[in-house]
Amino acid sequence: MSILVVGSVAFDGIETPSGKVDKVLGGAATYFALAASYFAPVRVVAVVGEDFSAKEEAVLQARGVDLRGLERAPGKSFFWKGEYHGDNINEAITRQTDLNVFEQFDPKIPAAYDDTEFLFLANIHPTLQAKVRKRMSGVKFVGGDTMNYWIERTPAELAETLRGVDVLLINDGEARMLGNTRSLPRAAQKVLTMGPRVLVMKHGEYGATAFFREGGLHPFRAPALPIEQVVDPTGAGDSFAGGFMGYIAAQDIMNREVFKRAMFYGGVMGSFAVEKEKPNLAPSIKRHKDRATAGETRSTPLRAGAGDASAQPGAAVPPR
Amino acid sequence: MSILVVGSVAFDGIETPSGKVDKVLGGAATYFALAASYFAPVRVVAVVGEDFSAKEEAVLQARGVDLRGLERAPGKSFFWKGEYHGDNINEAITRQTDLNVFEQFDPKIPAAYDDTEFLFLANIHPTLQAKVRKRMSGVKFVGGDTMNYWIERTPAELAETLRGVDVLLINDGEARMLGNTRSLPRAAQKVLTMGPRVLVMKHGEYGATAFFREGGLHPFRAPALPIEQVVDPTGAGDSFAGGFMGYIAAQDIMNREVFKRAMFYGGVMGSFAVEKEKPNLAPSIKRHKDRATAGETRSTPLRAGAGDASAQPGAAVPPR
C-alpha cells in the first residue's frame, strides 16, 4: 500500500570529521522516501527550485519514488548547512538555513494520489501538515514528525496537527519539550493525550522506544546495536521514520506486534543513513525477503549478516 | 555460589532535585552487595571508620551479607559528596571526596573466604584490585570495574589488573577512554585484547551492551525501559554489576545465554537503585522464582509486572 510523504526535498551542505560536501541531495522527505521505498510504493509532495536537476531526480526515480507531486518553483531549493564534530558526532551545528522556494510552499496533492492509504507528515510548519492531513482525510494511517522550533513557537497549530496524527516520531529532547517534563514516560503520557495513539521516541545510537496509548503506555524499547563508525548522521531520523512507516504499510494487518517489528526496520534504515557520506540510501542496499515468507527466493540480504546480527559489529538489529 | 566483593563501604552526602541527605550509607561495595544478595551469598572486603555504626551494619546484615572481611580502622569512613541537577540527572557533580580510612586500605581476606568462587573488584586503585585478584587465585570467575581517574593516571597498574578480569563493566565514556577511540565497537575490540573476555558497556538509562571476545565481538544490547522518575542515580552502576554478577553466580552453567540474561537482571537492579532516596535496595524488594523454575511457588514478584513489562512504565525489562 502506498505512502505519501510531504516535507522538504532540499540540498544540504555538510561537514563531518570524515569530509565535506557543499551541496548534496537532502531533505526530510528525501530520506524518508528513499528508506520507505524498500518496503512500499512512495509518493512525494514537496517543492524544489530551478537548481534541482535531473541528477537529483534520478536518485529518487531509481528507487521508484513517484514524483508527480514534486512542484517546481522559480528560485532556489531549500538549503541547509551544518557541521558535526568528533566530540558529539550525533549533534548537528546548523550554520545556514535558506528556505528559498520552501518559504511559499503550499502543498498541492495530485488527484492521482487520492487513493493513498499511508501518510507521513515530515517536519514542516504544522499548519501545512494539518492542511495536507485534511486534504488526505481518506487515509488509513498517519505518521508525523515535528521539532523544537514548532513546539516552542506554534503550539496551537501543532496541537491541531497532532489531533490528526496516529503515530508521532520525535526524539527525547522534543518529547520532553512537548510533554513539558524531564521524565520520558510522563512526557509520553502527556503526548498520548494530544492525538497520537503511538509515540515513538528516538534515542539516536541507543535505539527507540514506542509508547502506546491503549492499555496504558506499554513502553517497548528497540535497541540499536553500536555502529562502528558514524560518518554522517544527517537524515537518520527521517530514514528511521521511512523504515518504520514503510514496514507498517507493507503488512496485511496493523497491530502492536507490527509496530514493534517496525521499530527494528526503522533502526536498520537509520543505521544505513549514518554509515556513509550522503546521499547513500539509494544505490547499495538490497532487501531480502522476510524469513517468515516461505518458499520465496532470498535475494542479497538488506544488510549482510542481518539475520545473524551477533556476528556483525555494525548491525542495527539485535541478536535473537 | 558465593561472591566476594572488594571495594568501598562508605558514607555519601547527596543532593538531588528531590531532596538532600548529609550522610547516608553508600559505597560501591555496598550497592554491589545489596543487589547481588538477591541472587547469591555475598561476602565483603572493605574498610570503615569509627563512624560506621551498628545501624549501617544492620542494612547489610538484613540482606545476609557476610561482613567478616569488613575491617574497622581508627578515623572516619570514606566520604563522598555529590549533587545531581535536573538538566542532567544522570551525571553527578562531585563536591567532596574524603578518602579517610580508605587512604591506607590494604585488603585483608579472611581465611573463611577461601572457598569463594566469584570475585568482583569494585572501583578502587588497580594495584589493590590486582592484589586481591592474586590472593584469590582459586576463584572461578572475576568481574571488575574501574573509572577515568585510573585509566588516565595508572594505566600500567590497570593493565595488570585487567589481565586477571573475565568481565569488565564500565560506561561508554570509560570504554572510549580505555579503548582510545570514539567508536564503541572499536573501543570494545581494544579492551577485549587487554584481558577481559566479556566487556559490558553501561549506557545509563538506555541499557547496556555486552561485547564478547570469542568469535569476534558479538554485541548484545539489553535495553532498559524508561524510569518514570529518576530520584537519585547514585549506585546505579554498582547495583547493575551486583545483579549481573549475582545472577551469573546463581546459575549452574556459564555461557553466552547466561551473560545475556544477566544483563537484564543487572538493569532491573540498577533501576531499583535510582527510583528512591538512598539507601533503598534492602527493605522492599522480593525476588520471585524464575519462570523457568517449574513447580516452585512464586512469591511476590521482584518487580510488580516484571513478567509483563509492557504494562509497567517503570519496568526495566523489555516485553517479550
CATH number, position A153: 3.40.1190.20
Strand intervals (E) in B213-250: 217-223
Residue B243 has pLDDT above 70, yes or no: yes
Number of domains forming the structure of chain B: 1
- Average confidence score pLDDT of chain A: 88
pLDDT digits (tens, 9 = 90+) for B252-296: 999 999 999 999 999 999 999 898 777 666 556 777 665 444 333
- Average confidence score pLDDT of chain B: 88
Nearest to A184 among B182, B219, B226 (CB): B226
- Chain A contact for B182 (CB, 8 A cutoff): yes
Terminal-residue alpha carbon distance, chain B: 29
pLDDT digits (tens, 9 = 90+) for B70-81: 999 999 999 999
pLDDT for the residue B277: 74
In a domain, B192, yes or no: no
In a domain, B208, yes or no: no
The 3-state DSSP composition of chain B as helix, strand, coil percent (nearest 5) reads 35, 25, 40
In a domain, A114, yes or no: yes
Which percentage of chain A shows pLDDT scores above 70?
88
Mapped onto helix, strand or coil, the DSSP state of residue B36 is helix
Contact call for A221 and B217, based on CB within 8 A: no
State the Cα–Cα distance between residues B47 and B69, nearest whole angstrom.
8
Whether B305 contacts B228, CB under 8 Å: no
List chain B residues with CB under 8 Å of A311: 215-216, 218
State the Cα–Cα distance between residues A46 and A29, nearest whole angstrom.
8
List chain A residues with CB under 8 Å of B207: 206, 221, 223
User: What average pLDDT does range B87-105 have in this prediction?
Assistant: 90
User: What average pLDDT does range A38-55 have in this prediction?
Assistant: 97
pLDDT for the residue B284: 63
In a domain, A191, yes or no: yes
In a domain, A273, yes or no: yes
List chain B residues with CB under 8 Å of A313: 185, 189, 216-217, 219
Residue showing cell 494511517 = A141
Residue B201 has pLDDT above 70, yes or no: yes
- Higher-scoring residue by pLDDT: A4, B226: A4
List chain B residues with CB under 8 Å of A209: 223, 225-226
In a domain, A41, yes or no: yes
List chain A residues with CB under 8 Å of B318: 220-221
pLDDT for the residue B282: 54
The total of other beta-carbon atoms located within 10 Å of residue A250's CB is: 19
Residue A276 has pLDDT above 60, yes or no: yes
Residue A110 has pLDDT above 50, yes or no: yes
In a domain, A320, yes or no: no
- Higher-scoring residue by pLDDT: A249, B86: A249
Q: Supply the range of the domain harboring residue A188.
A: 3-311
DSSP state of B154: -
pLDDT for the residue B269: 93
In a domain, B214, yes or no: no
Question: DSSP letter string over A242-283?
Answer: HHHHHHHHTSS--SHHHHHHHHHHHHHHHHHHHHSSSS-SSS
Q: Please give the ipTM for the structure prediction.
A: 0.80
pLDDT digits (tens, 9 = 90+) for B115-150: 999 999 999 999 999 999 999 999 999 999 999 999
Nearest to A226 among B209, B309, B311 (CB): B209
Q: Which residue of B has its CA nearest to A202?
A: B206
- Chain B contact for A226 (CB, 8 A cutoff): yes
For CA atoms B120, B126, B129, B135, give the dihedral sign: positive
